[in-house]
């Protein structure tokens, strides 16, 4: 019926359309299978990723331009204010840093006394987040350095306040990272106050983490700081993750209902730090 109508120069039948669709569907399924089962396609993915890179740059450009404009048109007054604030901050930070280096030295000495492996300082590099949304149904971000700069899968990402996430896919010039708030992400943490270990699981909400495996009698209260325990092998230990927000103990349930607020401003960060930690002492990484 459709075919018989025939537009002026556009015969309705496209030759072998069904065949082509079938072929493409089969190719897609094979590709997906290969991609899902084994990671044979990382090369192809990286290739296409590199081809898309200019588009990401162009999308990112207006945001960058806007920021740049904002910065270059700030009034002198504002700049002076900022400068004053930053000077004060620097003074404070420096003072704290002095104490920190003393503490670090003391810590190393004590560790040496205990004959424990001394913690090596982690190497850190700053990366910028590209204003690009990756998959909308996951909490992802894309950063502007990739395998060319030594980024690797599973690498930890932090910002000035705490843990942001970890790298899941490394391109040549960019890398994709999953945020700790992603519903499929979990990381081993401990309560800073007493060393109680547990797992912080993402909820899919940007400002909430769940701690589903704390028994009702666990010593945890609102306001407790959670830091990475370093047990999973992916994150170095001691970085702040979240602050416990509420603890609800339901008598008939085996586990308490504990939620926490991520320490890092996950939806506001613009610059993040990638951590190259010293390789952990042979730890078999458990499946997440």
Residues within the interface to other proteins (CB under 8 A): 2, 5, 7, 9-10, 12, 14, 17-18, 20-21, 24-25, 27-32, 34-36, 41, 44-45, 48-49, 51-52, 55-56, 58-59, 63, 131-137, 140, 168-169, 176, 183-184, 204, 206, 267
DSSP category for residue 215: B
Q: What minimum distance in Å lies between the beta carbon of 269 and other proteins?
A: 13
Nearer to other proteins by Cβ, of 155 and 277: the residue is: 155
- The helix or strand, by DSSP H or E, that contains position 243, with its residue range, turns out to be strand 240-248
CB 168 within 8 A of CB 178: yes
DSSP 59-104: HHHHHHHHHHHHHHT--HHHHHHHHHHHHHHHHHHHHHHHHHHHHH
CB 249 within 8 A of CB 171: no
Nearer to other proteins by Cβ, of 69 and 112: the residue is: 69
Q: What minimum distance in Å lies between the beta carbon of 45 and other proteins?
A: 6
Nearer to other proteins by Cβ, of 45 and 193: the residue is: 45
Nearer to other proteins by Cβ, of 7 and 72: the residue is: 7
Nearer to other proteins by Cβ, of 12 and 105: the residue is: 12
Q: What minimum distance in Å lies between the beta carbon of 233 and other proteins?
A: 23
Q: What angle do CA 156, 175, 72 make, to 5 degrees?
A: 95
Q: What minimum distance in Å lies between the beta carbon of 117 and other proteins?
A: 36
DSSP 247-275: EE--TTSSB-EEEEEESS-TTT-SEEEEE
DSSP category for residue 61: H
Q: What minimum distance in Å lies between the beta carbon of 6 and other proteins?
A: 8
| Tokens at 41, concatenated | 């396609």
């Amino acid at each position: 019926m459709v075919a018989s109508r025939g537009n002026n120069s556009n015969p309705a039948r496209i030759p072998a359309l069904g065949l082509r669709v079938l072929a493409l569907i089969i190719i897609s399924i094979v590709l997906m299978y290969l991609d899902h089962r084994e990671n044979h396609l990382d090369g192809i993915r990286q290739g296409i990723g590199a081809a898309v890179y200019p588009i990401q740059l162009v999308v990112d450009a207006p945001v960058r331009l806007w920021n740049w404009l904002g910065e270059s048109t700030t009034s002198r007054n504002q700049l002076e204010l900022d400068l004053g604030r930053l000077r004060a901050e620097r003074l404070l930070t420096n003072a704290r840093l002095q104490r920190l280096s003393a503490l670090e030295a003391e810590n190393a000495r004590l560790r040496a006394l205990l004959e424990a492996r001394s913690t090596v300082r982690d190497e850190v590099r700053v990366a910028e987040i590209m204003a690009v949304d990756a998959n909308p149904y996951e909490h992802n971000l894309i950063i502007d350095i990739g395998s060319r700069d030594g980024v690797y899968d599973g690498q930890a990402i932090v910002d000035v306040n705490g843990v942001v996430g970890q790298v899941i896919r490394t391109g040549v010039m960019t890398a994709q990272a999953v945020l700790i708030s992603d519903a499929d992400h979990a990381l081993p943490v401990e309560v800073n106050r007493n060393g109680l270990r547990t797992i912080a699981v993402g909820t899919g909400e940007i400002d909430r983490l769940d701690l589903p495996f704390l028994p009702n009698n666990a010593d945890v209260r609102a306001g407790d700081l959670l830091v990475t325990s370093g047990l999973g092998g992916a994150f170095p230990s001691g970085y702040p993750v979240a602050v416990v927000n509420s603890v609800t103990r339901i008598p008939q349930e085996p586990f308490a209902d504990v939620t926490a607020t991520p320490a890092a401003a996950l939806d506001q960060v613009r610059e993040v730090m990638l951590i190259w930690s010293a390789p952990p002492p042979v730890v078999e990484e458990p499946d997440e």
